[in-house]
Amino acid sequence: MHYPIYVFRHGETVWNAEKRAQGFLDSPLTEAGRAQARAMGQALAKELQGSGHALASVVVRASPLGRVRETLALAAEAAGLTHDEQCFDPRLREMSWGEWDGLTGPEIEARWPGAMAARRLDRWTYEPPGGENYITATARAQAALDDIVALAVERPVAVFAHGAIGRVLRGLFLCVPEAEILDMDQPQDAFYRLHRDTAARIVSHDPD
């Protein structure tokens, strides 16, 4: 790989603020989330300028879910990125919680007593009813990453995705153990530059 891959998570959503699982379902960005998206775009433009890469050279790949579309639109406007409908890849969707999508932890516990505790004991293989586990999500993430890495041979790539699937993409790129992937952060005010077997965290807001 000759060029960097930038991995973003969408900005804060209404359901993030309410601590609801989203998975394949959606909720709009909050005002804070919209500000995060614009800040990520500005930080990406600065990062590319500093590294000598032209914005016009960046290829975008993104989850097709609404919260990512909204984030991408705001970030792209702030950065001057161009993209079209061809950039959306369903393999970059968030992990599905199945019947848990849209529910809070207490709501899940009320309907499936003990299920959340069981998942905490084996987060990698546990599969919510009708949902995915990390094994399934990793398979599609690997396929998407293979294509992204192939693109990065010729151009920088900006990937707009989600918390869990973003962790998986970073972990696969770095070839780290499953436990380390599960412990990775899921920032909405920072993004990651993947390049030459390393992942650099780039803060996208003014620390002041």
| pLDDT, mean of residues 122-127 | 96
Spell out the domain ranges in the chain. Answer: 5-94+134-203
Query: Rounded to whole angstroms, how far apart are CA atoms 21 and 3?
Result: 34
Q: 134 near 125, Cβ under 8 Å? A: yes
> Residue 192: which of 176, 171, 175, 207 has the closest Cα?
171
What is residue 135's DSSP assignment? H
Burial code (b: 16+ CB inside 10 Å, e: under 16) for 4-42 equals: bbbbbbbbbbebbeeebbbbbbbbebbeebbbbbbbbbb
**Residue 88 bridge partners (DSSP):** 62
Pairing of the two strands 190-195 and 157-161: unpaired
- 138 closest CA partner among 105, 108, 177: 177
208 pLDDT tier (thresholds 50, 70, 90)? very low
pLDDT per position as a tens digit, 83-96: 999 999 999 999 99
* CA distance to 11, 39, 103, per residue, from 60 (Å): 17, 17, 31
Contact 162, 27 (CB under 8 A): no
Residue 75 in contact with residue 8, Cβ under 8 Å? yes
Answer yes or no: 53 catalytic: no
- 83, 94, 162, 195: the active-site residue: 94
pTM for the full predicted model: 0.95
Kindly state the tokens that stand for 205: 């807001």
pLDDT digits (tens, 9 = 90+) for 157-197: 999 999 999 999 999 999 999 999 999 999 999 999 999 99
pLDDT per residue as tens digits for the range 40-82: 999 999 999 998 998 889 999 999 999 999 999 999 999 999 9
Torsion of CA 83, 84, 87, 88, to 10 degrees: 120
Q: What single DSSP character describes residue 96?
A: P
Q: Which one is catalytic: 10, 83, 162, 195?
A: 10
What pLDDT is recorded for position 204? 87
Are the C-beta atoms of residues 67 and 160 closer than 8 Å to each other?
no
Phi and psi at residue 204, in whole multiples of 5°? -115, 20
Q: Are 101 and 21 in contact (CB under 8 A)?
A: yes
Q: Is 10 a catalytic residue?
A: yes
For the structural domain made of 5-94+134-203, what CATH number should be given? 3.40.50.1240
